[in-house]
């Protein structure tokens, strides 16, 4: 019988990045380039939690993508009219694995043709 030592590592709380608007442009580029989003083909994945300080935190202008929260959170400031993820005017967008809090509207869906939500709280 083998015994494995149990190693406990201290938990480290990572501070979320405070951002203005993040835009996924129609050409696939991301503004600002420093936004905590990594791309792999049509998948746009968060690499850190985000605290937005503006009315729209993530504006999606590209169709046919997957926006993967990776278990990270998207938190607003509760500002009047604030929107967590704006996917208006695009189609075939999948939003998955996010925790979205403290926005007046979690999503702006005007003229959206297809939206799939998976494990989004």
pLDDT digit string, tens, across residues 50-85: 988 767 689 999 999 999 999 999 988 888 888 888
- Looking at the domain assignment, is residue 2 inside a domain? no
Residue 7 exposure: Cα atoms within 13 Å on the Cβ side: 2
Q: Give me the residues paired with residue 66 across strands.
A: 43, 94
Give the H/E segment covering residue 84: strand 83-86
- Looking at the domain assignment, is residue 12 inside a domain? no
- Looking at the domain assignment, is residue 103 inside a domain? yes
Tokens of 18: 């405070």
2 confidence band (pLDDT: 50, 70, 90): very low
Residue 34: predicted pLDDT: 92
Count the domains in the chain: 1
Tell whether pTM > 0.85: no
Other Cβ atoms within 10 Å of 72 Cβ, number:
20
Contact 42, 19 (CB under 8 A): no
Q: Give me the residues paired with residue 112 across strands.
A: none
Tokens of 95: 């939003």
- Looking at the domain assignment, is residue 5 inside a domain? no
Say whether pLDDT at 111 is over 50: no
Percent of the chain's residues with pLDDT above 70: 69
Q: Can you give the residue range of the structural domain that contains 29?
A: 17-118
Say whether pLDDT at 109 is over 50: yes
pLDDT digit string, tens, across residues 21-44: 899 999 999 999 999 999 999 999
């Amino acid at each position: 019988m083998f015994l494995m030592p149990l190693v406990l590592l201290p938990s480290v709380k990572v501070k979320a990045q405070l951002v203005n608007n993040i835009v996924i442009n129609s050409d696939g580029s991301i503004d600002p380039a420093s936004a905590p989003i990594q791309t792999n083909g049509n998948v746009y994945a968060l690499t850190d939690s985000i605290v937005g300080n503006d009315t729209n935190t993530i504006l999606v202008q590209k169709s046919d993508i997957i926006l993967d929260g990776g278990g990270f959170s998207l938190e607003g400031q509760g500002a009047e009219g604030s929107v967590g993820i704006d996917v208006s005017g695009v189609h075939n967008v999948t939003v998955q694995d996010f925790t979205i809090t403290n926005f007046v509207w979690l999503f702006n869906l005007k003229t959206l043709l297809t939206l799939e939500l998976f494990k989004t709280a």
